[in-house]
Structure formats: C-alpha cells, structure tokens
Structure 1
Amino acid sequence: MNTSSAYRNNKSTRDTTQRRILVWDAPVRLFHWLFAACFAGAWLTAESEHWRLVHVALGYTAGGLVIFRLAWGLIGTKYARFSSFVRGPSYVGRYLVGILRGHPQRHVGHNPAGAAVIVAMLALACAVTVTGWAIFNDVGGNWLGEVHEALASIMLGLVGVHVAGVVVSSWLHRENLVGAMLSGYKFGQPEEGIKRAWRTVAAIVLASVLMFWWWQWQVAPAPMTPNAAATAHQTASEDAE
C-alpha cells in the first residue's frame, strides 16, 4: 500500500512532523462547488417551464464541467488524477471493513469509498446531460424524459451518500473535509503535499463558465408580454380550427 497517501488513523496521526499541506488544487475545488451549485439549481428548476432555459443552461454547464474534470483527472495534480484514488471493489470493501472494525484508514486524497461515489456521479452526470440535451432538442421519444428524471433522482441519492460520507469521515478522522475542499489544505507529511494550486487554470474555467452564461443570456428569447401571449394563443387556436 502506498503509505504516502494512506495511513492508520491513530493517536500518532498528527505528530510533530504533520503540517498543513496543499492537497486540493484550485481547479478541483472550483469544479466541486460549481458542479454542486449547477446540480442544485438544475434540480430546483426542473419542474418549472418558466425557468426551463435556466435549467438547460445549468445542465449544459454541469456537463461541460464534467468534461473538464475528466481531462483534469488525467493531467492534473497528484490527488486530482484518477490513478491516485480509483480502486477496485475489493479495495473499497477492505476500506469499509476497516471502518466497521474501528480502524478507519485515513487517506490524504479521496478515500476508496468516496472515490467510488465520485466516479458514479461523474458517469451519471454524463448520462443526465446527454438525455437532457436529447429532450431539449426533440431527439428520441417521450421515454427519454422518464429516463432523464430517473437518472437525476439516482444522482440526487448519490449526492446524499456523498454528503453523509463526508460527515462520517470528518468525524472518524477528526478533520474538516468541507473546510479542506474550500481552502485546499489538510494535515499530512510535508512531502505529501502538491506544489502548485494552478489558480490560472481555475480562473480560465470560471471565466469560461461566466462567458457561457452571458452568451446564454444574450441568445435567450425575450419573455412574452401578456398581450403577446394572448395573441399567440388566439392565433394558435385559429390555426387549429
């Protein structure tokens, strides 16, 4: 086992050699919070025709963020790369057994169980985005709407599992994982930290998202006035006759 990224959670975990080290780079942190905001916003606007374009824009944004995260998972910093945290079912099982036996194994990056949930959420996010695009562009049948909603509901359940896991892990390992995802810092051996936060990459991603939202705002159709809506309804009725 790679002791540079995992070790037992005991009283000697934070010895005199432990320091605040940079673990989560800026792109990972930005992705995490932007994706969470987009999913929450898309979920809240899903049933409203009035907010349909907002729902679509947030869905496309989430899809774009996932594409970036997949790329960053290949070329990003140590703890951002999938190779550093994606493990097989047996590894995840041993981690969960360790928790049940009272010997949870602390990982500087994602723990195996959390990593499995993250991979599942990324896969579901891709499927939700594709089905949402198909629905918005009238590709496929009405059954896609039910699939889209079912996938979104499953993803919401995984979000709940993820949040619960963060709470449990924070308690077991006596560390604030939410704070770590905000600041990027955790406690660990000095040699375990990453050297750069890559804020420039995060700034480019944020600028791209804001530009996309601005463009969506510009091309969005102007809202119809009550008179215009009534006229359109009357015209549609006459055409139907």
Structure 2
Amino acid sequence: MTHRFQSDPSDTDSRFETVPVWDPFVRAFHWALVVLVCGAWGLGKWGPVDMSLHFWLGYGIGALVVARVFWGFFGPQTARFASFVKGPGAIARYGRTLVSRKPSYTRGHNPVGALSVVLILGLLAAQVGTGLVSDPDDYINVGPFADWVGYENAVRAVDLHETLANLLLALVIIHVLAIFWYRFWKRENLVTPMITGRARLPRRAPMTQK
C-alpha cells in the first residue's frame, strides 16, 4: 500500500501557509546549546587533566538554561511553557499518533517533544549544579562552590555528575532519533524551521496537538 500525503507542501498549495514558528532567541539557544553540550561532554570524557575549558562551557550552558527558562515565561507564544507543556493525558494521546505516517504539523513543540524539552532542561540544570559543587580530589578541577556542600557531598557530586552526563547522552540520542523518525517515517522536516524560524503548515493550524 502506498501512502500519499503532502510532506513538503509547495508555496502554491493554498491549503498551507508559511508561518513563523521559532523566534531568533529560541533558534540561537538551540544551536548554541548543541555546540556547548557536545564540547562539554567530549571534554568531560576525553579532555585534558586541566578541565578549565570544560568548566567554562558548563558556565555557558548554565547561562543558556537560565535564559531559556526566562524566555519560557516572557517570550513569544511558541516559546512559552504554558503553550506547550501538557499533562499526561495529552502526552498519551499524542504518543498514540507517533506511529501514523501523517505529519503532525504542530506549530511549536508537540506534547511529547515538550516533555523532552523539560527533561533536557532539568538534566542540564542538575548537571551544571553538580559540576559547580564537585570535588574530584585532584586539587585541580574543583567546582567553585564545592566548599559550600562539604567534602563528602562534593565527592559524591562527581559520581552524580557523570551519571547525569550519561542520562543526558541518552536523551540527546533519543532526540536525534526522533528527528529522523519524523523526517523519514512521518515525512516531516523539523530541522529547517529551527534554522529559518518558519514552516509550511495547514492554515489555522493549532498551536499544539490537543
């Protein structure tokens, strides 16, 4: 059976319109986070003995997370948590549509994607927090606030920091696989709108999948 549907509607298709989806801040945040997280993760696994650059990348990640949380309350509609963070029912309902080959055409984050956003932001915040208080007992790479939590907790923070890094890697892999799933199974391009800020969507498309 051949599945026929319009995955990349042409500019002449009157059923669709080109609309703004992602504002410049969200796009800049996304790609800056990709660079900083990849750099920090790589340095954490295979970096030099002196992890100063790893720390600076971590500071940058922390600043981005804080800025994104602020933007989640005061940014444009598609960036606001209130517009895309949904409850378990909405997540479950949308999850059942993932096997469909029909594009979702969601204007912004869908409920499952929103869950991923919240989890990644939470993990990054915890990752930065544990890095700030970690003490690997090497007298070189001690977090700037390690003294605030005591030596034993600072040492435990090192193990937690590594565990969180592995969890973050798993989430990133799932995120990338989801992009491929949408592109090749649902025939929906999620990358281009994150570059251009605009997407071709059905006219009067809902902000999020209900």
Same fold (TM over 0.5): yes
**Which amino acid letter does the alignment assign opposite residue 35 of structure 2?**
A
1:58 aligned residue: 57
2:196 aligned residue: 183
Normalized per residue, the structure richer in helix is 1
> What SS class does the counterpart of residue 20 from structure 1 fall into?
strand
Q: In the aligned structure 1, how far is the partner of 2:121 from the partner of 2:195?
A: 20
1:72 aligned residue: 71
Matches within 5 A, 1:207-218: none
**Which amino acid letter does the alignment assign opposite residue 81 of structure 1?**
R
1:87 aligned residue: 86
1:23 aligned residue: 21
**Which amino acid letter does the alignment assign opposite residue 109 of structure 2?**
H
Q: In the aligned structure 1, how far is the partner of 2:17 from the partner of 2:59?
A: 39
1:156 aligned residue: 169
Which of 178-187 and 166-175 deviates more? Answer: 166-175
> What SS class does the counterpart of residue 129 from structure 2 fall into?
helix
Which of 119-128 and 93-102 deviates more? Answer: 93-102
Give the share of equivalent positions with the same residue, in percent: 34
In the alignment, does 2:53 pair up with 1:40? Answer: no
Moved over 4 A (4+): 12-15, 101-104, 189-194
Give a deviation string over 1:14-36, Cα, whole Å, max 9, x none. 55131222111000000000011
Give a deviation string over 1:125-157, Cα, whole Å, max 9, x none. 100011101111334331110000101110110
**Which amino acid letter does the alignment assign opposite residue 131 of structure 1?**
T
In the alignment, does 2:163 pair up with 1:165? Answer: no
Q: In the aligned structure 2, how far is the partner of 1:86 from the partner of 1:170?
A: 23
**Which amino acid letter does the alignment assign opposite residue 142 of structure 1?**
V
On the 8 A contact 2:100/2:186 being kept in 1, the answer is: no
Q: In the aligned structure 2, how far is the partner of 1:61 from the partner of 1:142?
A: 23
On the 8 A contact 2:123/2:164 being kept in 1, the answer is: yes
* Structure 1 unaligned spans of 5+: 1-9, 195-241
Query: CA offset at residue 121 of structure 1?
Result: 0.3
Aligned residues: 185
Q: In the aligned structure 2, how far is the partner of 1:31 from the partner of 1:68?
A: 9
* Structure 2 unaligned spans of 5+: 135-142, 148-152
1:128 aligned residue: 127
In the alignment, does 2:141 pair up with 1:116? Answer: no
Query: CA offset at residue 51 of structure 1?
Result: 5.0
> What SS class does the counterpart of residue 24 from structure 1 fall into?
coil
Q: In the aligned structure 1, how far is the partner of 2:193 from the partner of 2:101?
A: 24
